Structure 1
Amino acid sequence: MLIKNGMIFTMGEMNFEKGDILIKDGKIVDVSENINVDDEYIIDANGATIIPGMIDAHCHLGLIEENMGQEGSNVNEVSDPITPQIRAIDGINPLDGGFKKAVKAGITTVVSGPGSANVIGGSFAAIKTHGICIDDMIVKSPVAMKVAFGENPKRVYKGKNKAPMTRMANAAMLRETIIEAKNYLNKKNIAKEKGEFFEEKLKYEALIPVLNREIPLKAHAHRADDILTAIRIAKEFDLRLTLDHVTEGHLITSHIKKSGYGAIVGPTLSFNSKIELTNRSFKTSVELIKAGVKTAIMTDHPVTNIERLPLCVALTMKEGLSFLEALRTVTIDAASIVGIDDKVGSIEKGKDADIVILDGSPFDIATKTLYTIINGEVVYKAE
């Protein structure tokens, strides 16, 4: 496939006022001002805007299905507050209607996983938004391990008259499980060295990639004190971490910057449904980015519908983000924060050919998606 004559925002080293993109075998093989090759399927973008496929860095797409009620809700296993062994890919339904809406909106990758009912909720997966078999859609799985602070675990398990009922218990149960997993890993390594049988337990096996810093904890934290607790625990055990929601992040920007962890902000286009959302503001992303914190914007679908991700970004621009700063929050910076920027997030040689062609700015409410391309395949074309 050859895409010609588009205004290309690569999110890499160079943008093009009028440029071409050559795709082969699902990958980008060249981006330059004028590419001429024979026998290729050509899309003449004719001055249209071309961006990398957008990324929603935190949602529950396919785990809370449209029009399905309880039968389609697979997002929270509320029988136990510690469930690291749960995997998003075992619950995501690629045939859920939200996937087509994401594709039409130009969202080509989502990071989807368990909700925040549990202290440890299970693993998230980064997946493409087109396909019928989840195994064929995976960018990276597991991509993160969900943990939750604040109101949600307290509320769920107080109703069951069991821990955690306080923020102290949220933190203590997380620490305790991390220590148990470390002890498990040490015993496993010793048994391996001695050539002895070792009985594996899926609960702790799931946490080994976290302990080995292969994937981060994905911390649900709205309130400032919960954000700081997440940072405290990650530093205590030398773990990778992403700060998700970060509703009061603008109140503690210097602390988040000092931590070195990335922030995934949202869902800001939503109702203040609980106390810890009191300080919800579209200024949060602006203040974090100004402070030098790598920041992504997310929908938390279905809290905010997945197709409204560009609108969430547009409303943040009204508070002071430039166009390129805004575009980074749903492309290269989103990819970098979740650890998939080697594959997606920019239009550069060697990366997956996930590309969106639009008739205007992606953050203008009147803009139409002309083409959505995933892995070099046109998966949406405007009529």
Structure 2
Amino acid sequence: MSKRSFVITGAHVVPVVGDEFDGGAVVVEDGRITAAGPDVAVPEGLPVVDAAGTWLVPGFVEAHGHVGIHEEANGVAGNDTNEMTGPNMAAVRAIDAIDIDDEGFRDALSGGVTAIVVKPGSGNPIGGQTVAIKSWGGRTIDEQLISDSVSVKSALGENPKRVYGAKDQTPSTRLGVAKVIREAFVAAEHYRTARAAAAGKGEPFERDLTKETLARVLDGELAWDQHTHRHDDIATAIRLSEEFGYRLVVNHGTEGHKLAGLLAEKDIPVVYGPLFTSRSKVELRDRAITNLAEIAAAGVRVAITTDAPVVPINMLVLQATMAVKEGLPRQTALEALTTNPATFLGFGDRVGQITPGYDADLVLWSGDPLDATSRALRVFIDGAEVYTWDAEAHRGVTVPRF
């Protein structure tokens, strides 16, 4: 029998999609959920995890992190977040820089985070390709892969202006940042047309990794993760996406409440946050946790981010707790931690809910996870227990990675 097969009984279960229930069972076989509900019987022959007195919740999804590529406590040597030798770095891939032994991954488990979308930083107008991974379980990052076809990170606003303005090169203004993005997509359109023509004639065609990546964005295979804080930059993000027809996901969205009706009308999702930061730059002047509730109230689909390590990733759920305190509905907060980010970024058929057919990424909490005093007690990824809270030692214990 697989070690990734068992039954959890006795917990208060929060499927996120569907009603919460007490009792019943959640059945896991070979790392996948095969049954869940208040009337599910315990199959014979499967080990039983008696979870009486706890809450069972799907693992949380960090939709915008830099864990592993901006390593904690390693200084410059551990920072591979931005390849700032050119403004268009669509060809670089975050997966090539992730150190899976970064402490941030252990922190993720302690906060019930079982999936992370790792992204390049915001120093470039076009920063590179993102990757969705499990928080633990592999000897290499490839063994933790959920999807390497997620999105391309892009940045508007002050960050690329500052980086390239200091070098006295384009872009040094918002005008220049938008120009870089437009020119890149025009080149990708020409590339895609020439590639199709060569294929139609059976002729060889020289690959260009940068243009090929952007062609995948144009084809809808990859989302466009747009770092943007100010309302005018959000408007530019919308304008560009409509010019070229790609799938836009607003990241950060600090002033998204000012355009919430427009974002809802166009069904553009927002990955909001981080919430636990100061107003450290002009773009964050209107930062407020209440903005998230306003955005969601308008009908915008939302997720929450720590931007780890900007905010420690284990505080993802605490940010949701504070958002509920400031007006975000509890169910919306749970969706913002689970189903929404997975759906925005193309892997919502695998993680984010306790539903038959989904990966068994499950967390047992001491109580309601949106209660700031609750603690993650046991974390399962693909049905394997990877983290346990040791009450006597008052610390979390992860299974050995290597």
**TM-score range with shorter-chain normalisation?**
over 0.9
Give the C-alpha shift of residue 363 in structure 1.
Answer: 2.0
Determine whether 1:52 maps to 2:63: no
TM-score by length of 1: 0.98
In 2, the alpha carbon distance for the partners of 1:195 and 1:109 equals 42
Q: 1:211 aligns with which of 214, 218, 225?
A: 218
Question: Aligned letter for 1:158?
Answer: G
The aligned residue for residue 18 of structure 2 is 13
Q: Greater CA deviation, 9-18 or 220-229?
A: 9-18
The aligned residue for residue 378 of structure 1 is 385
TM-score by length of 2: 0.94
Alignment of 1:229-378 (within 5 A): 229-378=236-385
Q: What CA deviation, in whole Å up to 9, does each residue of 1:85-105 have, x standing for no partner? A: 000100111111110110121
Q: Given that residues 7 and 19 in structure 1 are in contact (C-alpha distance below 8 angstroms), is that contact kept between their aligned partners in structure 2?
A: no
Give the C-alpha shift of residue 326 in structure 1.
Answer: 1.1
Determine whether 1:198 maps to 2:205: yes
Q: Given that residues 21 and 35 in structure 1 are in contact (C-alpha distance below 8 angstroms), is that contact kept between their aligned partners in structure 2?
A: no
Q: Given that residues 265 and 284 in structure 1 are in contact (C-alpha distance below 8 angstroms), is that contact kept between their aligned partners in structure 2?
A: no
The aligned residue for residue 76 of structure 1 is 82
Q: What CA deviation, in whole Å up to 9, does each residue of 1:245-290 have, x standing for no partner? A: 0000111111111221100000121122110000001012101111
Q: 2:42 aligns with which of 36, 39, 49?
A: 36
Q: Given that residues 60 and 338 in structure 2 are in contact (C-alpha distance below 8 angstroms), is that contact kept between their aligned partners in structure 1?
A: yes
In 2, the alpha carbon distance for the partners of 1:132 and 1:95 equals 10
Q: What CA deviation, in whole Å up to 9, does each residue of 1:2-24 have, x standing for no partner? A: 10011111012332122311011
Q: SS at the partner of 2:130?
A: strand
In 2, the alpha carbon distance for the partners of 1:246 and 1:378 equals 35
Question: Aligned letter for 1:48?
Answer: T
In 1, the alpha carbon distance for the partners of 2:69 and 2:349 equals 26
Q: SS at the partner of 2:148?
A: strand
Q: SS at the partner of 2:150?
A: strand
Question: Aligned letter for 1:362?
Answer: P
Give the C-alpha shift of residue 132 in structure 1.
Answer: 3.0
Give the C-alpha shift of residue 337 in structure 1.
Answer: 1.5
In 1, the alpha carbon distance for the partners of 2:365 and 2:304 equals 20
In 2, the alpha carbon distance for the partners of 1:67 and 1:13 equals 41
Q: What CA deviation, in whole Å up to 9, does each residue of 1:220-251 have, x standing for no partner? A: 00000001100111011111010000000111
Q: What CA deviation, in whole Å up to 9, does each residue of 1:282-322 have, x standing for no partner? A: 01210111100000000000111111101111111111122
Q: SS at the partner of 1:62?
A: coil
Gaps in structure 2 of 5+ consecutive residues = 1-5, 391-402
How many residues align? The count is: 383
- The root-mean-square deviation of aligned C-alpha atoms, in Å, is 1.0
In 1, the alpha carbon distance for the partners of 2:112 and 2:18 equals 22
In 1, the alpha carbon distance for the partners of 2:14 and 2:182 equals 43
In 1, the alpha carbon distance for the partners of 2:289 and 2:24 equals 34
Q: Given that residues 95 and 132 in structure 1 are in contact (C-alpha distance below 8 angstroms), is that contact kept between their aligned partners in structure 2?
A: no
Alignment of 1:126-137 (within 5 A): 126-130=132-136, 131-137=138-144
The aligned residue for residue 400 of structure 2 is none
Q: Given that residues 6 and 18 in structure 1 are in contact (C-alpha distance below 8 angstroms), is that contact kept between their aligned partners in structure 2?
A: yes
Q: Given that residues 22 and 35 in structure 1 are in contact (C-alpha distance below 8 angstroms), is that contact kept between their aligned partners in structure 2?
A: no
Q: Which runs of 4+ in 1 moved over 4 A?
A: none
Q: 1:25 aligns with which of 24, 30, 35?
A: 30
The aligned residue for residue 110 of structure 2 is 104
Q: SS at the partner of 1:110?
A: strand
In 1, the alpha carbon distance for the partners of 2:12 and 2:130 equals 34
Q: SS at the partner of 2:220?
A: coil
Q: SS at the partner of 1:204?
A: helix
Q: Given that residues 28 and 383 in structure 2 are in contact (C-alpha distance below 8 angstroms), is that contact kept between their aligned partners in structure 1?
A: yes
Q: What CA deviation, in whole Å up to 9, does each residue of 1:302-360 have, x standing for no partner? A: 11111110111111111112222211110111211222111111010101110111011
In 2, the alpha carbon distance for the partners of 1:61 and 1:273 equals 21
Q: Given that residues 18 and 47 in structure 1 are in contact (C-alpha distance below 8 angstroms), is that contact kept between their aligned partners in structure 2?
A: no
The aligned residue for residue 7 of structure 2 is 2
Q: SS at the partner of 2:11?
A: strand
